[in-house]
């Protein structure tokens, strides 16, 4: 608990995140329950942590920054691509009405589902599928957060954004240093795109990057 408050103060507030609801969510969600026992002592450190199968739970600051950027409202329905540990899912679940989260690796999804259920999140639905296709049955979404990097924002996701909807995604070549967070907003049929800071995420598998599925 003390470690979590320190994480928020030193890594997140100190770097300029001030959305009160995002800070409250980061102070609430027990990050140590989203990593395995071997990494529990690192849960509140300033870095990503391995969660198995070559995947990682993002650095706390990145989770907070991406969440803040989406300007989430309590009534929003949000799509997340890349459930992973379920940590970002839980943060979103604290902030909005409903979270729809897609994961492509069954083992990770199962573990994340257990954690989210045990912590009592009832506004989360998950699906095992290729997130590049989105979740057409539940569209449109007020916001979409992608937590694995495609080479370009998948068109299906843009088409599933509501009018006024926001999307944030790391975009770039897999495993390269040149990924960038991309923020997009839809107004009618117009999409505006803003490039934010450089990041390093695991690649989005499947779909356009199909060969990576067997990598
Ligand atoms: N948000 C996560 C971080 C996940 S790392 C967390 O807080 O822990 C990225 C995740 O995206 C991995 O779990 C990976 O398996 C998943 N992923 C990769 N390609 C995907 C795809 N095409 N569809 C859905 N999930 C995908």
Domains and CATH numbers, the chain: 2-198 (3.40.50.150)
> Residue 134 in contact with residue 155, Cβ under 8 Å?
no
Site to substitute for ligand 1 among 29, 43, 84, 174, most atoms within 8 A of C-beta? 84
Q: Residue 176: its pLDDT value, please?
A: 61
- Encoding tokens for residue 53? 């199968």
Instruction: Return the C-alpha torsion angle 120, 121, 127, 132, nearest 10.
Output: -150
Beta bridge partners of 169: 182
Q: H/E/C letters for each residue in 77-113?
A: EEEEECCCCCHHHHHHHHHCCEEEEEECCHHHHHHHH
> Residue 196 in contact with residue 180, Cβ under 8 Å?
yes
Q: Which atom of ligand 1 is nearest to the CA of 84?
A: 13
Q: Residue 178: its pLDDT value, please?
A: 84
From first to last of its 215 residues, what are the pLDDT tens digits of the chain?
899 999 999 999 999 999 999 999 999 999 999 999 999 999 999 999 999 999 999 999 999 999 999 999 999 999 999 999 999 999 999 999 999 999 999 999 999 999 999 999 999 999 999 999 999 999 999 999 999 999 999 999 999 999 999 999 999 986 666 899 999 999 999 999 999 999 999 999 986 444 444 33
Q: Residue 172: its pLDDT value, please?
A: 94
Site to substitute for ligand 1 among 134, 145, 147, most atoms within 8 A of C-beta? 147
Q: Name the 3-class secondary structure at 150.
A: coil
**In angstroms, how far is CA 140 from the centroid of its own chain?**
18
Helix (H) or strand (E) holding 186: strand 179-187
Q: Which residues are catalytic?
A: 58
Distance from residue 4's CA to the centre of ligand 1 (Å): 24
């Amino acid at each position: 608990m003390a470690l979590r408050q320190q994480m928020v103060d030193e890594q997140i507030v100190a770097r300029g995140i001030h959305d009160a609801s995002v800070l409250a969510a980061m102070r609430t969600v027990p990050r140590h329950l989203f990593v395995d026992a071997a990494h529990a002592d690192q849960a509140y450190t300033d870095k990503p942590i391995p969660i198995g199968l070559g995947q990682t739970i993002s650095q706390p600051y990145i989770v907070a920054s991406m969440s803040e950027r989406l300007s989430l409202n309590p009534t929003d329905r949000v799509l997340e691509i890349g459930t992973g540990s379920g940590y970002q899912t839980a943060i979103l679940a604290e902030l909005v009405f409903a979270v729809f989260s897609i994961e492509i690796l069954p083992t990770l999804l199962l573990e994340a589902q257990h954690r989210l259920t045990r912590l009592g999140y009832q506004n989360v639905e998950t699906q095992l599928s290729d997130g590049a296709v989105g979740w057409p049955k539940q569209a449109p979404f007020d916001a979409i957060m992608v937590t694995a990097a495609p080479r370009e924002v998948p068109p299906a996701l843009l088409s599933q954004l509501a009018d006024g909807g926001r999307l944030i995604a790391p975009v770039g070549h897999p495993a390269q240093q040149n990924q960038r967070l991309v923020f997009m907003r839809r107004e009618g049929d117009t999409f505006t795109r803003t490039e934010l800071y450089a990041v390093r995420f695991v690649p989005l598998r499947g779909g356009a990057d199909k060969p990576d599925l067997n990598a």
